[in-house]
Amino acid sequence: MAEKIATREAYGMALAALAEKYPDLVCFDADLAGATMTKYFKAACPERFFDMGIAEADMVGVAAGMSLCGFKPFVNTFAMFAAGRAWEQVRNSVAYPHLNVKVVGSHGGLSVGEDGATHQCIEDFAIMRAIPGMLVLCPCDGNEMRLAVEALVNYEGPAYMRLGRLAVETVTDSIPDYRFELGKGATLRDGTDVTIMDDGAGIGLAHHRRGQCPRRSWRGSRRISERELPRARRPPRRQRRVWPQRQGPAGARRLRRQCRRHHRQGQAGAGHKEISRAYKQPPRSIPGAAVSVCQKVCFCSRPLSAGRTTLSARQNVLFLRESLANS
C-alpha cells in the first residue's frame, strides 16, 4: 500500500533531516510550528529555529536580513498570511533584491475546510506568480515534497511553496524513472485522448481514478441520460411554452385545467402566469386578449386586471373573439 502522508508533515520531516547536512539552514515560524510541522526542525536544531510570534511581516524582514548574512532561511506560516499579510515584505524585501529566502505557505487551497473560508487561500499562486523572479511550486505527495525541499535548499533565489493540510496518497514513488526538477513537470501516465495537468493534492486523485472511465471517442465523454442521474439532480422536463392553439385540443384543455385550478385556489394571478408562458413574455407585458382568454377558459365572470386596465365580462368576450380570429 502506498504511503499516505500530508505534504506539510513530509516537509517538516525533510527540513529536519537536512539540518545536519546544511549548517546554514535556518527556520522561521509565526507561532504555528505545530500546524506547519516545523516542530521537527525545532526539535532537531532549536538554536536555528526562530519563533517570531504572530508577526508575519516582521518575520519576512528578519529572514531577508539573515539571507544577507549568508544563511538560507525558510519562512513558514499559513498560505493566507504568507501571500496576504506579508505580501508587501515578500515583494519589496525578498523578491526585489532577489534574496535567497524561501516562503512556505501551509494549509493552501480548499483542503483546509475545517479552518473556515478565511483560511482557504486559493489566490496565493496568482499573487506570488505576479512577482518577477519568484519561483512557485506545489509538490503533490510526500515523496515529491522531500525532493522539492532539498532542491529549494540548493536553489539560489526567492521561492514560494504551498503545503497541503490533508494526508494524500503517494503516487510518484511508483512511477518508473521519476525525476523531480524545479520548473519542469513530470509525466505520470501516458495516454492518447485527454491530457490532464494538475499540481498538489489533485494529482493523487486524478492518478487514482485512471482507467476507471470507459473509453470514449476523441470528441469527449458520452452524454449522460437523465435516468442515470440521482433524482435530486435531474433537470426539470422541458415544457412547451407555445400558444395553446398550436398544441391542438390537448394543449387547450391542459391550459383550461391549470387556470381553473389556480382560480379555485384563489390564485387569480396564476392564470396570468399560464398565459405569459404561452406567450413567452412576462405577465406585465401580455396583451389584453390573453387575459380575456384566461378568464374564458376559467369560466370566471369576475374581471381581472392587466396592468392598469380592468376588463369587464363583455370586454372579455370581445377580446376573446379578436384573439381567436388573429391566432
Rounded to 5 degrees, what are φ and ψ at 168? -125, 155
| Cell reading at 35 | 500546524
What is the pLDDT, as a whole number, of residue 311?
A: 47
The single residue of 9, 56, 169, 274 carrying the catalytic annotation is 56
Burial bucket for residue 288 (CB in 10 Å: 0-12, 13-18, 19+): middle
Active-site residue, 150 included: no
Q: The whole model's pTM is what?
A: 0.64
CB atoms within 10 A of CB 249: 9
* Element housing 11 (H / E): helix 7-17
Per-residue pLDDT of the chain (327 residues; tens, 9 = 90+): 478 899 999 999 999 999 999 999 999 999 999 999 999 999 999 999 999 999 999 999 999 999 999 999 999 999 999 999 999 999 999 999 999 999 999 999 887 777 788 888 999 999 999 999 999 999 988 999 999 999 999 999 999 999 988 888 888 888 888 888 898 888 887 777 777 777 887 776 666 655 554 444 334 444 555 455 555 445 555 544 444 445 556 666 676 676 666 655 555 455 555 555 554 444 444 444 444 444 444 434 344 444 434 445 555 555 555 655 665
What is the pLDDT, as a whole number, of residue 105?
A: 95
State the Cα–Cα distance between residues 130 and 110, nearest whole angstrom: 21
Q: What amino acid is encoded at 84 in this protein?
A: G
State the Cα–Cα distance between residues 179 and 151, nearest whole angstrom: 12
State the Cα–Cα distance between residues 127 and 139, nearest whole angstrom: 18
What is the pLDDT, as a whole number, of residue 321?
A: 59
> How confident is the model over 138-191, as pLDDT tens digits?
998 899 999 999 999 999 999 999 998 888 888 888 888 888 889 888 888 777
User: Whose CA is closest to 79, among 90, 68, 71?
Assistant: 90
What is the pLDDT, as a whole number, of residue 305?
A: 41
What is the pLDDT, as a whole number, of residue 272?
A: 52
